[in-house]
Amino acid sequence: MNLLRELLFPLIAVVVAFLIGGILILLIGDNPLQAYGLLFGSAFSWPVGVGYTLFYATPLIFTGLAVLVAFRCGLLNIGAEGQLYMAAFATAWVGITFANVSSWLLIPLCFIAAILGGGFWGAIPGVLKARFGSHEVINTIMLNFIAVALLSYFTQYHYKTPGDPIMQTVPIGEAAHIARLGKFIPGLPEFIPLNLAFVLALICCGLVYLFLWRTKWGYELRATGTNPTAAEYGGISVRKQIIVAMTISGALAGMVGVNEVLGYRYRYYDGFSDNYGFTGIAVALLGRNHPVGVIISALLFAILQRGGIPVDAFTEHVTKDIVQVLQGTIILFVAAEAFFRGPFAKFGLLKRSTV
Amino acid sequence: MLELRNITKRFGAVLANDKVSIVVEPGTIHAIVGENGAGKSTAMRIAYGFYKADEGDILVEGQVHNIKAPHDAIALGIGMVHQHFMLVDTMTVAENIVLGAEPGSAIALDLAKASVEIRRLSEEFKLAVNPSAVIEHLSVGQQQRVELMKALYRHARLLILDEPTAVLAPQEVEEFFSILRRMREQGKTVVIITHKLTEVLAISDEVTVMRDGRVVGRLQTRETNAAELARLMVGREVLLRVEKTPAKIGSSKLRVRNLSVTSRAGAKPVQDVTFDVRNGEILGIAGVEGNGQTELMEALAGLLSPSQLSGEIRIEDRDITREGARLRRELGIAHIPEDRHRRGLLLEFDLAENSILGVHYRPPIVAYASTFFDHEAIHKRASEIIEGFDVRPANPDLPARALSGGNQQKLIIGREFKVDPKLLLVSQPTRGVDIGAIEFIHRKLVDLRDSGCAVLLVSAELEEVTSLSDRLLIIHQGRIVGEVDPKVATIEEIGLLMTRGH
């Protein structure tokens, strides 16, 4: 019953978005059924479609989790983008610098670099908020710009192969590569970049769930998020929780670096993120700030991303911008729920149950 | 003047009013009493057109009227003052009073005309309100008079007042009652909704008692007494006076020496306070609200930053002035805060999760690797609290938000008692709590005292603090201005210290 209530609104949002998208496609002059057929057909085709959909979902699961953890502590982390860049570069740096170390040591080192890089970049706004009360939204946005600019500089002037026209670092050592899933799954070709980071993303979902709802630390973090003055009364240090939540949030965003650097490009590629950090906000919102919801909504966004390509190519008029329309509408509806819970609540719509 | 005949009102599955019939005679003060949720506000809101009754008739001066909205009620001469005032803070008294009934033409508001009328009414009922004062500069008592004036300005002959004294200090209440008596003299009819029995007896001519959505009694005030009213309200015998044996006082548990608190804005809400709380006694602190009680309790509970404190707080011989809330709890200090929504509860969390706040980090709550929760231990604890303190509904998986105020309070009290406190800090333990539960809470506090715990009690209810306390301190403007023996001190004596400080 409770689960149904939680699922209801996101579901409505998605269905309505597809209806509106359908009308739009019709107005543009194409057949919506054909367009959606192409979209889903491509996203679910085995093995290439499924492989890419899951690959696209991987970073979104990480950033969705990052936003979720901060949100559960009452914080809005707009900085997952900067955090994942810092983490990716740190990962690449370890992979380049210790290229000759054996896999057994190098891969864990790279993981630690990703966690520290993202965690550090997330901890900064956490400390600023805890110490000086400055707002995390402003600070995380600013730190995004700083991260991007800083890393472009390092890429351009210190870590690029001389003469390379592309903004990317030299490759990492082969020992740092993590396996693509094609190696384990029969029928899935290895050129598809879906890699072990996807499995890691699912594990992280489980860990985040256990952490938030089964440990005393998660309890303190959530208590701070729902009522900081009551948390304080219960002997919980609100300042500490803010720093902890932002650090964990940054570290989770940083795991995108593992997917990108160790599993896909094997180097740091400047500006690689397709707004993963920002889409993560929508993923968390649609996923009800719950790890399971994050998996589902990350998959949905990945389907749209993957399915947009053939829609663009094989319809007369519709371009892949339709994907943006769908995403935008979904976000709008999910965000509007706050509104529905507010003034419309008195008409009995979506009223919170009280006994 | 006003008659409700067989009014029935349902909110979903809840039957808020079940064939309610109330007769209010003209020129009287009529009290409607009942516990929270008894349906008294619902009935009066129906009379005022706020809700529509599912069944039944409303008669005004013998005529059946179809009151669909408040303006219908206003046209019939019915006015209502709500518990939460509906005033525009930044506008003047006159502007607020005329709001919705502005004199003059559509383009030119004739405030001068309104002011004359307001002064006349103010004179007639001795309300003493300055029409040009801005609302936010007025005291709560004065704001209430503006609300009364609003109704009078609209020619109300019947005034419905919803819990009018809840926001007033003791001496304001007396003033307010004399205004009501003056209105009655001028021929107005007053309906007062309340759950405070002393007030019913002091002011009303007739009483209607409600319980569970039904009218269970209609009495002449001079023919009844508090015990009878309480029994009708609760449905069983209620002990109104706390019964307790003389305290077996032990050694000092809490020692407060020259404690001062500086607020973040630079004010000094607590100044140079010194007292001891001893094992086995209840030390009461009486005072008009806002005289430093909140800050004092927060300082003792460890909720203020050490930089805001000067002086010394000791538990036995240990100086805890600079220690945080967690360590103080570990030393056996439990705290029932005055504001249960702000401090006491995590409203979105379920009862089980709320029942461990403060002990959530130590065994038996955490079992594995001192990190993971032991689900069974949590549910066991929650069930014990729910059972021991009669929290309803008794379902540990419900969010705290779903409980009524009284049950939320019982949950908090149960949680704090569960830690076997050595010192209990308790503020306003029965605020917004029903009579039946008040009796229960008082009993529990006395039992705790008898078990040897030191209890520090702050309450705005003078009756509560005098009947529970073994010793009573009076606080005024952040200073302790006197100590009295609650067994012999009179209300007047205490009231004088509370308001004047000497």
Q: Is the pLDDT of residue A344 over 60?
A: no
Residue among B419, B424, B464, B462 at smallest CA distance from B442: B464
Average pLDDT over residues A236-247: 97
The C-alpha of A345 sits at a distance from chain B's nearest C-alpha, in angstroms, of 14
For residue A223, give the chain B residue with the closest CA. B346
| 8 A C-beta contact, residue A253 and residue A84 | yes
Name B117's Cβ contacts closer than 8 Å, sequence gap at least 6. B103, B153
B401 vs A contacts (CB less than 8 Å) = 352, 354
Residue among B100, B99, B4, B85 at smallest CA distance from B51: B4
| 8 A C-beta contact, residue B343 and residue A230 | yes
A216 vs B contacts (CB less than 8 Å) = 360-361, 365-366, 371-373
What is the per-residue pLDDT for B206?
95
Q: Is the pLDDT of residue A335 over 90?
A: no
What is the per-residue pLDDT for B118?
85
What is the per-residue pLDDT for B138?
82
Which residue do the tokens 């670096």 mark? Answer: A257
Using a CB–CB cutoff of 8 Å, tell me whether B495 touches chain A: no
B303 vs A contacts (CB less than 8 Å) = 232-233
Distance of CA B36 to the CA centre of its chain: 11
What is the per-residue pLDDT for A121?
98
| 8 A C-beta contact, residue B277 and residue B284 | no
Cis peptide before A59 (omega within 30 of 0): no
The DSSP line for B80-138 is EE-SS----TTSBHHHHHHTTS--B-SSSB-HHHHHHHHHHHHHHHT----TTSBGGGS
C-alpha B68/C-alpha B45 separation (Å) is 11
Q: Which two three-digit tokens encode residue A334?
A: 């999910």
Average pLDDT over residues A154-182: 92
C-alpha B502/C-alpha B500 separation (Å) is 6
Q: Give per-residue pLDDT as tens, A21-32.
A: 999 999 988 899
Name A108's Cβ contacts closer than 8 Å, sequence gap at least 6. none
Cβ contact B326–A353 (<8 Å): no
Which segments of B340-484 does DSSP mark as H helices, in order?
351-354, 375-388, 405-418, 435-450, 462-468
Walk along chain B (502 residues) and give the pLDDT tens digit of each residue. 899 999 999 887 778 899 999 999 999 999 999 887 788 888 999 999 988 899 999 999 888 999 888 889 999 999 998 877 888 888 888 888 888 777 666 666 777 888 888 888 888 887 878 888 888 888 778 888 898 888 888 888 999 998 888 777 667 788 889 889 998 998 999 999 987 888 889 999 999 999 888 999 999 999 998 888 888 888 887 776 778 888 899 999 999 999 999 988 888 999 999 999 999 999 999 988 788 999 999 999 999 999 999 999 999 999 999 999 999 999 999 999 998 989 999 999 999 999 999 999 998 899 877 889 999 999 999 999 999 998 988 899 999 988 888 889 999 999 999 999 999 999 999 887 878 888 899 999 999 999 999 999 998 788 889 999 999 999 998 999 999 999 888 877 888 888 776 6
What is the per-residue pLDDT for A340?
61
Q: What residues of chain A have any CB closer than 8 angstroms to a CB in chain B?
A: 210, 214-217, 219-220, 222-223, 226-227, 229-237, 352-355
C-alpha B140/C-alpha A91 separation (Å) is 62
CA B2 to each of CA B18, B80, B158, B217, B261: distance values in angstroms, whole numbers, following the listed order:
18, 13, 8, 17, 52
Name A328's Cβ contacts closer than 8 Å, sequence gap at least 6. none
CA B498 to each of CA A28, A312, B177, B484: distance values in angstroms, whole numbers, following the listed order:
77, 78, 20, 12
What is the per-residue pLDDT for B421?
96
CA A265 to each of CA A55, A254, A258, A270, B483: distance values in angstroms, whole numbers, following the listed order:
13, 16, 10, 11, 78
CB-closest option in B326, B343, B348 to A226:
B348
Q: Is the pTM of this model over 0.90?
A: no
Where do the structural domains in chain A lie, given as residue ranges?
59-302
- Residue B368: CA atoms inside 13 Å, Cβ hemisphere, count? 8
Using a CB–CB cutoff of 8 Å, tell me whether B351 touches chain A: no
For residue B11, give the chain A residue with the closest CA. A348
What is the per-residue pLDDT for A11?
86
Cis peptide before B246 (omega within 30 of 0): no
Q: Is the pLDDT of residue A355 over 60?
A: no
What is the per-residue pLDDT for A341?
55
Q: Which two three-digit tokens encode residue A348?
A: 């009995």
- Under DSSP, the state recorded for B411 is H
H or E segment and range at residue B207: strand B206-211
Cβ contact B353–A219 (<8 Å): yes
| 8 A C-beta contact, residue B476 and residue B501 | yes
Phi, psi of B81, rounded to the nearest 5 degrees: -110, 120
Q: Which two three-digit tokens encode residue A185?
A: 């799954």
The C-alpha of B304 sits at a distance from chain A's nearest C-alpha, in angstroms, of 10
Strands B454-459 and B423-427: parallel
What is the per-residue pLDDT for B107?
67
Cβ contact A233–B349 (<8 Å): no
Using a CB–CB cutoff of 8 Å, tell me whether B392 touches chain A: no
What is the CATH code for A59-302? 1.10.3470
The DSSP line for A68-116 is HHHHHTT-----HHHHHHHHHHHHHHHHHHTTTS-HHHHHHHHHHHHHH
Q: Is the pLDDT of residue A117 over 90?
A: yes
Q: Is the pLDDT of residue A6 over 80?
A: no
Phi, psi of A235, rounded to the nearest 5 degrees: 80, 20
Q: Is the pLDDT of residue A251 over 90?
A: yes
Cβ contact A217–B371 (<8 Å): yes
Q: Which domains does chain B have, with CATH numbers?
A: 2-234 (3.40.50.300), 242-332+422-432+452-502 (3.40.50.300), 338-420 (no CATH)
What is the per-residue pLDDT for A348?
38
What is the per-residue pLDDT for B404?
80
Amino acid at B478: G
What is the per-residue pLDDT for A351?
37
For residue B401, give the chain A residue with the closest CA. A354
Q: Is the pLDDT of residue A343 over 60?
A: no
The C-alpha of B294 sits at a distance from chain A's nearest C-alpha, in angstroms, of 13
Q: Give per-residue pLDDT as tens, A141-154.
A: 999 999 999 999 99
Using a CB–CB cutoff of 8 Å, tell me whether B394 touches chain A: no
ipTM given for this complex: 0.86
B406 vs A contacts (CB less than 8 Å) = none
What is the per-residue pLDDT for B108?
67
What is the per-residue pLDDT for B496?
82
H or E segment and range at residue B254: strand B252-261
Residue among B425, B498, B491, B492 at smallest CA distance from B464: B491
C-alpha B228/C-alpha B231 separation (Å) is 5
| 8 A C-beta contact, residue B121 and residue B132 | no
What is the per-residue pLDDT for B458?
95
Strands B2-11 and B55-60: antiparallel
Mean pLDDT of chain A: 90
B373 vs A contacts (CB less than 8 Å) = 214-216, 219
C-alpha B252/C-alpha B236 separation (Å) is 40
